[in-house]
Amino acid sequence: MITICIISLLVSSVTSQLTHGQTRVLYESFDPPTLNTSLWNYGYPWGTYYTHRANTNQRLVRVTQDGYLNLTAIKERSITLGVMTEFGPLDIDFSSGAVNTNGKFCMKNGFIDITLRVPPTESTWPAVFLVPEDSGRVPMLTIMEAFDSRSRYAYGFKYTNSKGEVEEQNFIADNKQTSDNLHRYGLDWGYDQITWYYDDKWVNTVTKSDELKQVDSLCLVIGLGVGGKAQASTINAAEYPSVMSVDLLEVWRPKYDGFYKFRNVQTGLLLEIDSASHDWSASVLQWHDNGGDWQKWHVQYAGHGQFRLITGHSRFGLDNPGSGVADGTKLIQYPYHSGNNQLWKLQIVDESKPDIVQLINVYTIGNADTPKLVSVPENDTSAGVQLHLWRDMNSDLQKWQMIRL
């Protein structure tokens, strides 16, 4: 009992780090008796088969009494068809299950966590991925797929490059058991980078700002393939039926996304750029609300529960110059380069006032004696004063009301 409590505490504390600044928008635990068809469609968004040897069939998708989504692959021909795939010509001589959320639940940016058990049969190809709502297959974000050994899995990103060619980045996560038990596969999707997790542990981060910019809303697919990418593993029909079980799917989305004004709780003045400057290193001040674009901030989810704040007029980022760690480090705008000194945690101080936040510089978390907040200097709270970083004094001079535009 005690052990169980400790484990669940650990898991939830890691998860709350990963989902800081986000709201859970989906909790699907596959409760019996039937699949929730307000959320799920059967098959793939584009039809019943894909680049493997199984035709999918609603009959092979089951929500079990104990609350799993079971997808079962069997040696049974349900279609007389072969397909030409990137893995060569394939005869579709098996049947299996797949589900997707096309047109029912699609998203951009946030954190997805899925708990599942991969079938032990190495010739199956279980996969969880995200594809566009128009039934296209590019861009595609793959959360996990297993197509050979069950002690590793693959993940990746498929996109169109600047020359208009489809390009893929695929990775293997080695020494990760997939079929022995249920495991969690996480994907953290920020505006310029994606991070994969296995059982809440970091696996890899890929930064692709130009490519991720073209990615619009994506919808989820969970499928159990046979052969195809798994064709290197010979198919032994005696190993079928083979079952993939999904226990839980959770999705979080950023709490903040879009343009905001930041009004200081004590002074009532707005976070702005001095004289609407377009200069690198121009000062960040507080000033009276005048409707200027230099008082509007584009808040975008960067991943890891962190955000960037981009000015409306110059498109520069709110920046802690030189990654300062001292109290009194003065704030500027600077071209955005994905530095931790340009990333911010938006910390709600009082849950009853969720629009009021502290702006914590990410670089100072762990690098300074204590994390530093965007603050109006205590000794000069006048309009026009340059804002600085200061340790948390539980002062209203360090609290900002976010006004959505």
Ligand X SMILES: *[C@@H]1O[C@H](CO)[C@@H](O)[C@H](O)[C@H]1NC(C)=O
Chain residues binding ligand X by CB under 6 A are 36, 38-39, 64, 68, 70, 117, 243, 245, 328, 377, 379-380
Q: How far apart are CA 198 and CA 175, in angstroms?
A: 11
- Least distance in angstroms from the C-beta of 140 to ligand X: 23
Closest separation between CB of residue 263 and ligand X, Å?
22
Smallest distance from the beta carbon of 117 to ligand X, in angstroms? Answer: 5
Q: Which helix (H) or strand (E) holds 6?
A: helix 2-18
Shortest separation between residue 35's beta carbon and ligand X, angstroms = 9
Which contacts (CB < 8 Å, 24+ apart) does range 370-374 have? 372/320, 372/324, 372/325, 372/327, 372/329, 373/398, 374/271, 374/318, 374/331, 374/344, 374/398, 374/400
Closest distance to ligand X from the beta carbon of 280 (Å): 23
CB of 30 to ligand X, least distance (A): 9
Least distance from ligand X to the Cβ atom of residue 260, Å: 28
Output 24 or 77, the one with its CB closest to ligand X: 24
Q: How far apart are CA 231 and CA 256, in angstroms?
A: 44
Q: Which helix (H) or strand (E) holds 13?
A: helix 2-18
Q: Are 117 and 179 a contacting pair, CB within 8 Å?
A: yes
Nearer to ligand X, 314 or 398 (CB): 398
Residues 133, 153 contacting (CB under 8 angstroms): no
Q: Which of residues 123 and 245 has its CB atom nearest to ligand X in the complex?
A: 245
Q: Which is nearer to ligand X, 68 or 125 (CB)?
A: 68
Q: Which of 91, 212, 232 is nearest to 158 (CA)?
A: 212
User: Among candidates 56, 48, 124, which has minimal Cα distance to 95?
Assistant: 56
Nearer to ligand X, 101 or 195 (CB): 101
* Closer residue to ligand X (CB): 25 or 81: 25
Give the three-state DSSP class for 260.
Answer: strand
Q: Cβ 403 to ligand X, closest distance in Å?
A: 28
Tell which residue, 220, 149, 139, 165, has the closest CA to residue 187.
220
Element (H, E) at 210: helix 209-213
Between 38 and 80, whose beta carbon lies closer to ligand X? 38
Closest CA to 209 of 287, 300, 285: 300
Nearer to ligand X, 123 or 300 (CB): 123
